Amino acid sequence: MAYINFKNITKEYIVGEKPIRAVDDASFTVEKGEFAIILGASGAGKTTALNILGGMDVATSGHISVDGRDITEYTREQLVGYRRTDIGFVFQFYNLVPNLTALENVELAAQVCKDSLDAAETLKKVGLGERMNNFPAQLSGGEQQRVSIARALAKNPKLLLCDEPTGALDYATGRQILKLLQDTCRSEGITVVLITHNSALAPMADRLIRFRSGKVVEMTCNECPVPVSEIEW
């Protein structure tokens, strides 16, 4: 069985009296240690699918298994534990606590997990060994996103879920962040699922999942993913 099995997932929201299907009978799989990209235009259902996979939202129907466990059967309390220990989130906006240093922001996340990694060592891995005692306002956008990634990695999660992680960054900084995520996937063996609307990034993925109008319209595996440093857009 695949490490992630996202099977026949539908998510409906009621707007007025009319149900809106944000995700419509979508299915895909991801193997352990893969760098998977979910690609689609705005409104295609990518973020809703990621939120359901990350336990921040629940499906109307369908099943999702992660590492052999069906998370769609989880209670509210089990979902809290799943988000806390199994999932690392990286968002477009960094969501750092402004009155805590970079180190304290990472330590904050590590405190909620039993098998967390050393916060200082994790910051060094993302290239911020010299910036640990700086507050978010003293860091550039790229540095703040690196803290956000370190915070997610320090939890030692099974999955790293990234929702447009370079959306608020300039081109050069965005490339650095994508390289960090790709290198982390390779060196740490962590499973990464990244959302983007940028089709130029498709060659860097081990697995490409295309969403359109809430449906998965294509899933392809790439035998020879390209380092992001070799991609221009």
The pLDDT, as a whole number, for residue 113 is: 84
Domains in the chain with CATH codes: 32-59+75-230 (3.40.50.300)
The pLDDT, as a whole number, for residue 211 is: 98
Of the candidates 19, 43, 53, 48, the residue with the CA atom closest to the CA atom of residue 161: 53
Q: Maximum distance among all alpha carbons in the chain?
A: 55
Say which DSSP state 119 is in.
H
Per-residue pLDDT at 1 exceeds 90: no
If DSSP codes are grouped into helix, strand and coil, which group holds residue 225? coil
> Could you tell me the pTM of the whole model?
0.92
Which secondary structure element, helix H or strand E, spans residue 120, and what is its range?
Answer: helix 119-125
Average pLDDT, the chain: 94
The pLDDT, as a whole number, for residue 82 is: 95
The pLDDT, as a whole number, for residue 167 is: 87
Say which DSSP state 117 is in.
P
Q: How does residue 38 score in pLDDT terms, banded at 50, 70 and 90? A: very high
Summarised one tens digit per residue, pLDDT across range 71-108 is 999 999 999 999 999 999 998 888 899 999 999 999 99
Mean pLDDT of 23-43: 97
